């Protein structure tokens, strides 16, 4: 009988749960729909996401995690409980141990808040681990050798850049520039250039279907609908890849700079390893068209996109859970 320890990638955009021996059993957006009048939770995850920007006055679709930290503790707790109940932890033989991934720069208070929410949701013992480390493991890097490995994990709320060696982070930087901010940049561009108001979901569609961040690398277009700011009426416009490349230029420059900062602080022996092994990109933001080419050009090292980049952290928790007994002996957050 396998033990039911579980790993959770508690992300700003998505929550993934990995059960030891089973793999990824849950992958849902981090969204909760609530009735404002009585505080009741109406929907969680995919169902709630469909409501974003489409709710009547008394219903609110909330994203309880913002910039990779807990913005609304009670709602985060309700969301975690819902997801954990969904995978039926309580029906398990015994309470599971939980390994939860969080960004590198969250405060002790925020760490405690995440742990408490997981314990209240049925965790016997809850461990927290830093996201870039687990992402690197999930991407297949052997970070336990005395050699340099560099990972750039671009999520919804945060981008974590880290150089790892011998199982630990040597240099790292976590910035609040990632997928969500790309959406905001696109939304603002459309507002500025076309005087058209669009929603978050539409901005994300543009990012996924036509965006590129490497000049000339993509040539797509998409028809989008929104509300004309002057007439107040619905209007359709066509957006091209080259426009979005310009709209995202400043935002991606911030990520490039963070990667450069980390490389500048990396000991020379480890830098040499990174030239040989390259940089691995993980997280949903790594799927942004052209980001691998742009980073390779700017950093002058090979850059690789991980297999299934959005699953790396959850897969990494699975690998770490295999070694949970060793992990238990170490001092954890
Ligand atoms: N094909 C794509 N192109 C560009 N961006 C994408 C694509 N697919 C997903 N994304 C973006 O990836 C982001 C979500 O990634 P992910 O699930 O790794 O984040 P997260 O782990 O929830 O966030 P964080 O690590 O900040 O807590 C969203 O902003 C989403 O729009």
> What is the pLDDT at residue 69?
76
Q: Enter the tokens of residue 126.
A: 């809850």
Phi-psi region of 12 (alpha: psi -120 to 50; beta: other; left: phi over 0): alpha
In tens, the pLDDT along 41-60 reads 999 999 999 888 777 778 88
CATH 3.30.420.40 for domain 6-133+312-329: yes
Phi, psi of 44 (to 5 degrees): -135, 145
- Domain segments of the chain as ranges: 6-133+312-329, 147-177+252-309, 179-247
In tens, the pLDDT along 7-43 reads 999 999 999 999 988 899 999 999 999 998 888 999 9
Is any atom of ligand 1 closer than 6 Å to the C-beta of 291? no
In tens, the pLDDT along 293-310 reads 999 999 999 999 999 999
The fold adopted by the segment(s) 147-177+252-309 is: Nucleotidyltransferase; domain 5 (3.30.420)
Predicted confidence band of residue 90 (pLDDT cuts 50, 70, 90): low
Q: Is 324 annotated as a binding residue?
A: no
For residue 113, what is the enclosing H or E element? helix 108-120
Residue nearest to atom 12 of ligand 1 (CA): 284
Query: Which atom of ligand 1 is nearest to 310's Cα?
Result: 18
Is any atom of ligand 1 closer than 6 Å to the C-beta of 285? yes
> What is the pLDDT at residue 236?
98
DSSP states of 126-164 as a string? Answer: EEEEEHHHHHHHHTT--TTSSS-EEEEEE-SS-EEEEEE
In tens, the pLDDT along 228-246 reads 999 999 999 999 999 999 9
Query: Residue 331 Cα, ligand 1 centroid: separation in angstroms?
Result: 31
> What is the pLDDT at residue 162?
96
In tens, the pLDDT along 105-139 reads 678 888 888 888 888 888 888 999 989 999 999 99
Is any atom of ligand 1 closer than 6 Å to the C-beta of 284? yes
Query: Higher model confidence: residue 248 or residue 2?
Result: 248
Span 160-178, average pLDDT: 94
Predicted confidence band of residue 70 (pLDDT cuts 50, 70, 90): confident
CATH 1.20.210.10 for domain 179-247: no
DSSP state at residue 58? T
Is any atom of ligand 1 closer than 6 Å to the C-beta of 288? yes
Query: Residue 103 Cα, ligand 1 centroid: separation in angstroms?
Result: 14
Q: Is 204 annotated as a binding residue?
A: yes
**What distances in angstroms separate CA 235 from CA 54, 306, 329, one per listed residue?**
18, 39, 60
Q: Is 287 annotated as a binding residue?
A: yes
In tens, the pLDDT along 248-303 reads 999 999 999 999 999 999 999 999 999 999 999 999 999 999 999 999 999 999 99
Predicted ipTM?
A: 0.99
Please tell me if the domain spanning 6-133+312-329 has the same topology as the one spanning 179-247. Answer: no
In tens, the pLDDT along 193-229 reads 999 999 989 999 999 999 999 999 999 999 999 999 9
> What is the pLDDT at residue 71?
85
């Amino acid at each position: 009988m396998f033990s039911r320890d579980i790993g959770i990638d508690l992300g700003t955009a998505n929550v993934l749960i990995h059960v030891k021996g089973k793999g990824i059993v849950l992958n849902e957006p981090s969204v909760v729909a609530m009735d404002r009048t009585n505080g009741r939770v109406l929907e969680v995850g995919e169902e709630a996401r469909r409501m974003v920007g489409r709710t009547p006055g008394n219903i609110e679709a909330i994203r309880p995690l913002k910039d990779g930290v807990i913005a609304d503790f009670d709602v985060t707790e309700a969301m975690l409980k819902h997801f954990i109940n969904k995978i039926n932890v309580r029906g398990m033989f015994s309470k599971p141990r939980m390994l939860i991934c969080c960004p590198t720069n969250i405060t002790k208070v925020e760490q405690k808040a995440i742990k408490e929410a997981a314990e209240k949701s049925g965790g016997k013992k809850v461990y927290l681990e830093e996201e870039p480390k687990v992402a690197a493991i999930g991407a297949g890097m052997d970070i336990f050798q005395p050699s340099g490995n560099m990972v750039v994990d671009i999520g919804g709320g945060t981008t974590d850049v880290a150089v790892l060696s011998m199982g630990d982070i040597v240099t790292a930087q976590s910035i609040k520039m990632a997928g969500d901010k790309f959406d905001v940049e696109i939304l603002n561009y459309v507002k500025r250039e076309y005087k058209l108001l669009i929603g978050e979901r539409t901005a994300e569609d543009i990012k996924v279907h036509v965006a590129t961040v490497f000049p000339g690398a993509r040539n797509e277009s998409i028809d989008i609908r929104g509300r004309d700011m002057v007439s107040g009426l619905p209007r359709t416009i066509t957006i091209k890849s080259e426009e979005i490349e310009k709209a995202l230029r400043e935002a991606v420059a911030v990520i490039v700079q963070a990667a450069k900062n980390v490389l500048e602080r990396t000991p020379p022996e480890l830098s040499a390893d990174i030239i040989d092994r390259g940089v691995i990109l993980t997280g949903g933001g790594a799927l942004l068209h052209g980001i691998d080419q742009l980073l390779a050009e700017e950093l002058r090292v090979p850059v690789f996109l991980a297999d299934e980049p959005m699953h790396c952290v959850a897969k990494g928790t699975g690998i770490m859970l295999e070694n949970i007994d060793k992990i238990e002996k170490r001092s954890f957050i």
